[in-house]
Amino acid sequence: MKKVLVALNIEPRHRDKLMAAGAGCEFMFTAMGEATGEQVQWADIIIGNVPAEYIKSSEHLELLQLFSAGTDPYIVPGVLSEKTVLANATGAYGKAVSEHAFALTLMLQKKLHLYRDDQRLSQWKDEGPVTSVSDSTVVVVGLGDIGLHYARLAHNMGAHVIGVKRRAGDCPAGVDELYLSEEMDKALAKADIIASFLPGTGGTYHTYNAERFAVMKPGAIFINCGRGSAVDSEALFDALECGKIGAAGIDVAEIEPLPPESRLWQLQNLVITPHISGNFHLPDILERVVDIACTNLRTNLGGGEYINIVDMKTGYKK
């Protein structure tokens, strides 16, 4: 009898669904963030993001099904045995994160952050010219599920959308031009809006540094709802403070929680949200995560094929 640890905040109906998918298994349920080392070592299958250090290359762990799209701690050598299948939750977050990123985009274009500041000061003040999505060139870096959702939102609003991705291929729906990662600077130089959805891997670390921000148009808007490690925080601060770029909206930071002493808090042209765009606030996320977990649980028990298997070298879904 296989042992399944579910480390996820779920409702009874989700529990029933998982137990039906894993009929014949022994289940243990715990809340997110509360799994113990003993529980992790007990499990043959884990559904949830447990502390990587608890896994200790468990030789009998067959499947680790994450509730996140990001896989950063689990692709470090020595965490997972070669026998363990790692799957992420790509496909669960496209709607939620892309809409949050698009809300940040509109907020900055229409200067709503400045009007909110004025409201707190009881000031009836005109903050001047704004820009439009429909007149913009939007560069989306990272064309996974989230990036494609954002690209389609921008395209449907009339923007010219340029996508940047690792591998060559056909232009997906909602994208007008396609550039490879090594051509990123050419794309960034054209952008009125840059929306980044890069994962946190060794290959994406500080993708956005002083040199990259220097390539961007003066007045460009930069959005990051991928991973904070993709952005050099000091370079972002400098680019915003000196006006090299116009504004930025970030839902992630290089250090999380962002320390109170960080200079980023002081910037008027930066909007910060605390990594909540995909934090199960939209009920749709949990439904999709449970569905993905059920599919892979059934596969482990002998039916169908795994979905969302992670490439351990890149951290991306294969």
* Domain range annotation of the chain: 3-92+281-302, 94-272
Residues 75/315, Cβ–Cβ less than 8 Å: yes
**Whether the domain at 3-92+281-302 and the domain at 94-272 fall into the same CATH topology:** yes
**Three-state secondary-structure class, residue 231:** strand
Q: What is the pLDDT of residue 202?
A: 83
Tokens at 199, concatenated: 């994962």
Cα angle for residues 278, 280, 282 (degrees, 5° grid):
85
Q: What is the pLDDT of residue 126?
A: 98
Class level of CATH domain 3-92+281-302: alpha beta
Q: What is the pLDDT of residue 243?
A: 96
Q: Please identify which residue in the block is written with the tokens 């896989």.
A: 71
Q: What is the pLDDT of residue 196?
A: 98
Q: What is the pLDDT of residue 219?
A: 96
Q: What is the pLDDT of residue 315?
A: 85
What is the fold of 94-272? Rossmann fold (3.40.50)
Phi-psi region of 308 (alpha: psi -120 to 50; beta: other; left: phi over 0): left
**Global pTM value:** 0.93
Instruction: Give me the active site residues, please.
Output: 227, 256, 275
> Residue by residue, what is the 3-state secondary structure of 273-309?
CCCCCCCCCCHHHHHHHHHHHHHHHHHHCCCCCCCCE
Residue 183: count of CB within 10 angstroms of its CB = 11
What is the residue-level pLDDT of the chain in tens, covering all 318 positions?
999 999 999 999 999 999 999 999 999 999 999 999 999 999 999 999 999 999 998 999 999 999 999 898 999 999 999 999 999 999 999 999 999 999 999 999 999 999 999 999 999 999 999 999 999 999 999 999 999 999 999 999 999 999 999 988 899 999 999 999 999 999 999 999 999 999 888 889 999 999 999 999 999 999 999 999 999 999 999 999 999 999 999 999 999 999 999 999 999 999 999 999 998 999 999 999 999 999 999 999 997 899 999 999 888 888
